[in-house]
Each structure stands twice: as structure tokens, then as C-alpha cells.
Amino acid sequence: MENSVSHNRIESVRQLEEIYGEPPNTSLVKELDFISPHYQAMIEKSPFVLFATVGSGGLDCSPRGDAPGFVRVVNDTTLQMPDRRGNNRLDSLRNLIEDSRASLLFLIPGVGETLRVNGHAIILTDEPLRQSFAIKNKVPATVIQFKVDRVYFQCQKALVRSGLWDPATQIERSELASTGTMLKAMSKGFDGDQYDRDYPQRLKDSLY
């Protein structure tokens, strides 16, 4: 059966602009090439950020979270973020070795606006710097340092539409397959039930 859906592909910026028109001035003046005091306050209140990178293996977007302020504002063009324990895939870090371009999207619970930071990042291993990010005597393996090129806040529309901070939109975890169940489906002979039983303690032991 042939696909009857029409695909009118946009192939130029001019076509885009004809459809969407000009952005309002407020969408432009909010973009800065430095971290203003208001933007610094947003970063320091955020316990969660999405970290996007690109490399020869493709794109990657990784969630990063910790207590508010875990992304440190060094000065008005520099940020530092500890690389806490994870799954050791190193997708984001591998990308940075090849291509330093990086983007951050900060979320703050209960706040509709998000903060977007675009720039470049490097990976640091300086011992005193790593020690300064220690929690419960656990030192991050590396620290990611960002040079800010552009920073601006995003309006509330996306979070309002999604109801992200509305408790009424939350679902029971049981409505989706457990991680053990998903891994069992992808790995022959994998004991998903045991994985799920062990996970709470494993999470506690490997958080930092």
C-alpha cells in the first residue's frame, strides 16, 4: 500500500521564515553571551540539566542531576559540572574529545521557564578541582568545564502544555515495564526479577 501522506519538505531558511514570520524582540534581547545575575540565579536553583553533545558516533543528550547548584558558576562565561558515577558508556565525554560543542538545558522544579546554554566544553582531571566537588568523600572522575557562547531563558509554554510540574500528570511507575523486565527482553537468560530486587540497594551504593 502506497503512503498517501503528503510530504511538503522545507529545504530553506526562507521557507521557514515565510511560515513562522519574524521572532518578537523579546525573543532576541534575552540572548546574552555571558551569564547575567538573573541567569546565574536560575543555574544555582537548578537540580537537573540535560547535556547535549555531538561526535562522529552521532548525537547524545544525557540527563545530569544533583543538589541545586551542582553546576558551578565560575565567572560570567564559565561553568563547571562534576561527572558523577554513571553507566560508563561515556557517550557525552567521547563526543567532547572529538567535538567540543555542547549545550545545556536547565530545569527548576515548579518553575515554567528553562535556561538554555550553548557553548564549548572540555574535560578536566585536576585533583584539587575534582576534590572541590566531592560528596560523601566520593570524588568525581572528571569535571566538565563549559565556555558559554550563548545563554537565554525559554518561556513557559512547553512546560505548561506538558503539565510537567503538575502532580496530577504523574503516573504510577508500574504502568511501564521495569528496567529488569526491559533488560530481560533484550538479553537472553537475563534474570530481570533479581535485577529489580537488587536495584534499590545498587542505586544507593552507586549514587556517588
Average pLDDT, integer, range 76-95: 95
Q: Do 146 and 179 lie in a common domain?
A: no
Of 73-77, 181-185, 203-207, where does mean pLDDT reach its minimum?
Answer: 203-207
The pLDDT assigned to 27 comes to 84
Q: Is the pLDDT assigned to residue 4 strictly greater than 70? A: no
Mean pLDDT rounded to a whole number for the chain: 94
Q: Does residue 37 belong to any structural domain of this protein?
A: yes
- What would the grid cell of residue 23 be? 521572532
Determine which helix (DSSP H) or strand (DSSP E) holds 93, and give its type and residue range.
Answer: helix 91-98
Cα angle for residues 6, 9, 13 (degrees, 5° grid): 155
Task: Dump pLDDT digits (tens) for 99-139.
Answer: 999 999 999 999 999 999 999 999 999 999 999 999 999 99
Q: Do 62 and 124 lie in a common domain?
A: yes
Q: Does residue 2 belong to any structural domain of this protein?
A: no
More confident residue, 92 or 23: 92
CATH of the domain at 81: 2.30.110.10
Q: Do 113 and 75 lie in a common domain?
A: yes
Q: Do 132 and 185 lie in a common domain?
A: no
- The domain of 124 spans 13-162
Q: Do 49 and 128 lie in a common domain?
A: yes
pTM: 0.92
The domain tally of the chain equals 2
Question: Maximum CA pair distance of the chain?
Answer: 64
